[in-house]
Amino acid sequence: MQLQWYPGEGNTSVTHSSATKKRSLLHLSLMALGICLSLCLLALAELGTYLLFISPPSGAAFLAAARTFYREQDRNLVHYMPECSRYNSRTTYRLKPGSCRFATREFDTTISANALGFRSSAEDLDSPEVIVLGDSQSFGWGVNDAETYPAILKQTLGLKVLNGSMPSYATVRELRVLDEVETSKTKVLVLQYCENDRHENATFAQNDGVLPIASEQVYTERVAETVTRQNQGYYPGKYLHRYLPMLYGTLRASSPELLDLKKARILAAHDAGLFLRALQGAAKSLGGLEIVVLHLSSYNEYSLPFIPALQRRWAAMQKAKRMPDLKLHFVRADQILDDDDFYRLDDHMRPQGHRKVAKLLAEVIKTKL
């Protein structure tokens, strides 16, 4: 029997294999396309979340979440930067003499320190006529050396002005600076107060005039933690992973209960008492000085009437002869500053805020000299 051959009959398996390969390639292409689209969507979501962080839309919750994330997970802390600061057994830390760079996403500054670790020139240590003590606001967090309000005061008044302020210091540690500098020619002390001084001042009062200072080991561990966080930097999905849950929680949370006037007055009176207790502990260093108490707070937010409460408490204690004979004068920065004088995410003043504070203080100090 003669076999017949028909075209195409002999390559059926080849044709089937070719079709299978095409289908497999199509499936792989569709999977790759899906993965690429998913990655693009995730990248867009990451970008959108990042923009919500750096440029929060109007609304208190958006801004509050962005500021919290910035403070807790984004910004550097100069007091835990080994190139800028070092341990001090009396006050936890002090600046390293010399200069260092201090930058965050909203500013890039240079910080210079004298031999004692203060942000002032060497000549200001030699019998200053004005001393400024405070926390990071008076230190000049976020501005360059010449832009701090103590530096502007020096130029305006034509006097030696020592800036002994340090970030994280509260009233007790601030006043310890007076034991380390020559004050024979000092006439005016500017002592800045912020609401976050409460914890340190309360600890001092609760411990009968003793303030516990962190050990060098604890300080070194905090430095290491800060350096580790800074070295982590950015990784893909960081803002979706870390910021989005924080934002969601803030948006879901109910509005924080605002202090009514009565509660605010009670808390302000409590803070005033703690502040005056700190002054009592340093009374020997304060005699004969004109003390200008400056209320200057973060983000220009003043939830408590601290200065009026301090004036009342001071008058009552003087009348009862429970306070040393000190010369106190009271200044409120909220009367001259507005929100634009502060950074949006960082809770410190821009250069124009420092200029306003310097002008206000210069007017007060001129009447006391």
Q: Where are the domains of the chain?
A: 100-209+256-366
CATH fold label, 100-209+256-366: Rossmann fold (3.40.50)
pLDDT at 201: 96
pLDDT lower than 50: segments of the chain: 1, 3, 5-6, 8
* Segment 296-336, tens digit of pLDDT: 999 888 777 999 999 999 999 888 888 888 999 999 999 99
pLDDT at 363: 95
SS (H, E, C) the chain: CCCCCCCCHHHHHHHHHHHHHHHHHHHHHHHHHHHHHHHHHHHHHHHHHHHHHHCCCCCHHHHHHHHHHHHHHHCCCHHHCCCCEEEECCCEEEECCEEEEEECCCCEEEEEECCCCCCCCHHHHCCCCEEEECCHHHHCCCCCHHHCHHHHHHHHHCCCEEECCCCCCCHHHHHHHHHCCCCCCCCEEEEEECHHHHHHHHHHHHCCCCCCCCCHHHHHHHHHHHHHHHHHCCCCCHHHHHHHHHHHHHHHCCCCCCCCHHHHHHHHHHHHHHHHHHHHHCHHHHCCCEEEEEECCHHHCCCCCHHHHHHHHHHHHHHCCCCCCCEEEEEEHHHCCCHHHECCCCCCECHHHHHHHHHHHHHHHHCCC
pLDDT at 19: 76
pLDDT at 5: 45
